[in-house]
Amino acid sequence: MDGAALQNKTQSDTKREAVIRVRHLTNQFGEQVVHDNLDLDVWRGEVLGVVGGSGTGKSVLLRTIVGLNKPKSGSIEVLGVDVLNGPEEERQRIEKSWGVAFQDGALFSSLTVLQNVMAPLREHTGISEKLMAALGGLKISLVGLPQLSCSKFPSELSGGMRKRAALARALSLDPEIVFLDEPTAGLDPIGAAAYDDLIGELQHALGLTVFMVTHDLDSLYAICDRIAVLAEKRVLVEGPIEGMTKVDHPWVQEYFTGPRARAAQQKGQDR
């Protein structure tokens, strides 16, 4: 089965709402073309896992969608808004509809956990300090951190706690979409599994759409509804993880049929 076959739309697919629509995207840095005419849809309420070999531009794609990288050409719509060329007011409004948790957390080192989580509220809302603190504390509890962590600085937290604090900040404005960049990188297997469970629980409880860049096969099998594989400067194939072993491409075959993939599949079935 090739990529085109796997991407054939079913009747149910055509009824789904694309909250992110990327068309003909080209990203280029100097002479290096990272993406060339890339297309991708992200459906409302799904957990999409974005995978690919080193240098395929997984994080570049994420950063381009959220406006941290300007592409050479193409279009990106988020919740129906043109985030590249639309009116500034519309783009500022739509940015409140997503939250981002980067791989290293990207927390402000001079602020406490609570102050980090309150930062988006301070920037985008006019609510009182007392209410901001209450909402920040709620989001910190929501991601499984103890209230003692509110007053701690990022340097006083473990890697797993920093990732959860970054997720709490990403959720501070009650977004519809959450972007995660390698969320389980650097975590031990127990911590990674607990983080996967947390994402799955939050996605169902809050009705989130999750765009997750990852290389973690356990995460793909545990919580992802669909996989998008980046290769050859585009989305080579997208679809449910069960179909990836049938894709006739060397990297896809090696990634999804190797011993680690088989172990991850079994672990996902056992959870």
Q: What single string gives the DSSP state of each residue in 149-187?
A: GGG--GGGS-HHHHHHHHHHHHTTT--SEEEEESTTTT-
For 155, the domain range is 107-174
- Residue 236 covered by a domain: no
Give the pLDDT of residue 89: 85
Residue 113 belongs to a domain:
yes
Q: N- to C-terminal Cα distance for the chain?
A: 29
Q: What is the pLDDT of residue 1?
A: 47
What is the domain count for the chain? 1
pLDDT tens over the chain, length 271 residues: 455 445 544 444 556 899 999 999 999 999 999 999 999 999 999 999 999 999 999 999 999 999 999 999 999 999 999 999 888 888 888 889 999 998 776 899 999 999 999 999 998 888 999 999 999 999 999 999 999 999 999 999 998 999 999 999 999 999 999 999 999 998 999 999 999 999 999 999 999 999 999 999 999 999 999 999 999 999 999 999 999 989 999 999 999 987 677 677 766 655 6
Contact in structure between 78 and 94 (CB atoms under 8 Å): yes
The residue written with tokens 């531009």 in the block is 57
Q: Hey, what are 255's tokens?
A: 């990634």
How far, in Å, CA of 16 to CA of 119, rounded? 34
Determine which helix (DSSP H) or strand (DSSP E) holds 61, and give its type and residue range. helix 58-65
Residue 14 included in any domain: no
Measured distance CA(190)–CA(196) in Å, rounded: 10
Residue 181 lies in a domain: no
222: in domain: no
pLDDT at 47: 97
